[in-house]
Amino acid sequence: MLFRREVLEGIAGGRIDRVFRVWAEPRVRAGSTQRTWAGIIVIDSVTAVTPEEITEEDARRSGFKDRAALLTALSKSTKEGGYHRVMLHLGGPTPEAELAGNADLTDQELADLKTALDTIDTRSRRAPWTREVLRLIQEHPGLRALDLAEHLDRDKLPFKADVRRLKALGLTESLETGYRLSPRGKTLMAYLRSSTK
């Protein structure tokens, strides 16, 4: 499922605990999880509902002003099928987010991260790229992936795949548009700068 940024913020803040979708068949099931930038979303239940079964509380707890606004939004869906109420909650941070938030790194951890970057660069079919991409993101936080890729004369999709590899190490964070270095990434870049002096 796709979530708008304000919905994810509402889930993370505890204001939203349900969403509504138009589906011919449910796309998720109770007990399933989904990774998002806000953390891991846990699906509690999926129930087919009629418009009459949707309440004012449903509207408020799904981020709408009132029931009429929610029904209007659902009626504008171009998808075939019936209405479904998906109850959900934030299960916790993703492993990458937990890594990203940890900036208190030992010298050994920093050395291990440097080795991980070296290994990625060594195995790359092109010139070493990890530090260049990290530096670019550091200098241009929030810049679109397409624009960042153009800085390096690269295509967007392979560039985004590279950023995902850095994110898996906890070094970058996704924004609504573009990326930024995580606290962990900033600590590593400071270490790399000092180790080259």
Q: Is the pLDDT of residue 196 over 80?
A: no
DSSP letter (8 states) at residue 32:
-
**Helix segments in 67-177, DSSP class H:** 67-75, 95-100, 107-123, 130-139, 145-151, 156-168
190 dihedral zone (left: phi>0; alpha: psi -120 to 50; beta):
alpha
The CA distances from residue 106 to 11, 113, 165, 193, in Å, are: 34, 11, 22, 16
pLDDT value at residue 197: 58
Count of CB atoms situated within 10 Å of the CB of 135: 14
Q: Are 48 and 83 in contact (CB under 8 A)?
A: yes
* Dist CA 167 CA 50 (whole Å): 41
Q: Are 110 and 187 in contact (CB under 8 A)?
A: yes
pLDDT tens per residue, range 39-78? 899 999 999 999 999 999 999 999 999 999 999 999 998 8
pLDDT band at 102 (very low <50, low <70, confident <90, very high): confident
Q: Are 159 and 116 in contact (CB under 8 A)?
A: no
